[in-house]
Amino acid sequence: MLPEVTDFCRLLLCRHPELSSEAQGRVIGAGAAALGRRGQDTVLRWLRVCAPMRIDAVFAADVPQCADPAAAIAAQKGLEVATDERLRDQDMGSWQGRTWDEVVSEDGDRVREFFSELGERTAPGGESLGEAVERMLSWWHAIAPLLVGKTALVVAPGGLVAGYAAAMLGMRLSRSLSLSLPHGGVGVIDVFANGARISAWNLLALDPAP
C-alpha cells in the first residue's frame, strides 16, 4: 500500500461574490464594498458546496466583500477567519472610489494603457496587478509551511486569484485572464513542494442554481 501523500496543500481559491448596485461601475480596487443580493445568494451556495468538504483554515482580504463571506464558511467549519491586507486587490490610487465613467472622461488615454498592458501599468498613485500578486505571494510563502497536508479556503478579488494561480502554475501574468473566475467562482489548486496543479476550476459551474 502506498503511503499517504502529505507534502501538499489544497487551496480553494474563491473570488469574492458580486457587489452591491452602489459599487457597480466604480473603481473599487483595494477599497471596501458591500455584497449585493446576488452576492449574498452566492454565499449560500458556497455553504452548500463546502458543507461536505474538509477545510482546515480560512483566509481573506481584510475588506468586507471578502472577509464577510469567508466568515460564513469559517463559522460552518467551527473556524476563525484570518484576514490579511496582502490579499487585497491592487491599489488604484487616485482612481479608487470614483466611477469608471468619470475616470475614462478625465484620463482616457491612461485607462486604455492600463488595460492594454494589464498587470504592468498602474493607476495614478497606485500599484500594478503584478505588484499586488507579489503581495499575495509573500503572504503565501509565509503561511505555506503551516498548511502542509491541509486544505485552506481563501477569499480574494478576482484579479489577485487569477494572478496568483498563474504564478503558482508557472504562467506569465499576462496569461492570467485565461484563469479568470466569475464573481463567486471557486477554483481548486493542489500545491506540492515541487509545483502546483489545477484540480478543478469554477466548482459552482457544476452546482445547479437554487
C-beta separation of 83 from 67 below 8 A: yes
Residue 161: closest CA among 143, 136, 192: 136
C-beta separation of 8 from 192 below 8 A: yes
d(CA 4, CA 86): 33
Residue listed under C-alpha cell 468586507: 64
Q: What is the pTM of this model?
A: 0.93
Residue listed under C-alpha cell 461536505: 52
Could you report the per-residue pLDDT of 178-198, keeping only the tens digit for each?
A: 999 999 999 999 999 888 999
> Above pLDDT 70, what percent of the chain?
96
What cell numbers appear for 33 in the block? 464594498
Over 60: is that where the pLDDT of 66 sits?
yes
Angle at Cα 159 formed by Cα 153 and Cα 163, nearest 5°?
Answer: 80
Could you report the per-residue pLDDT of 80-130, keeping only the tens digit for each?
A: 999 999 999 999 999 999 999 999 999 999 999 998 887 889 999 999 999
Domains by residue range for the chain, with CATH? 8-206 (3.40.50.1240)
Helices 37-50, 64-77: crossing angle, 10 deg rounding: 30
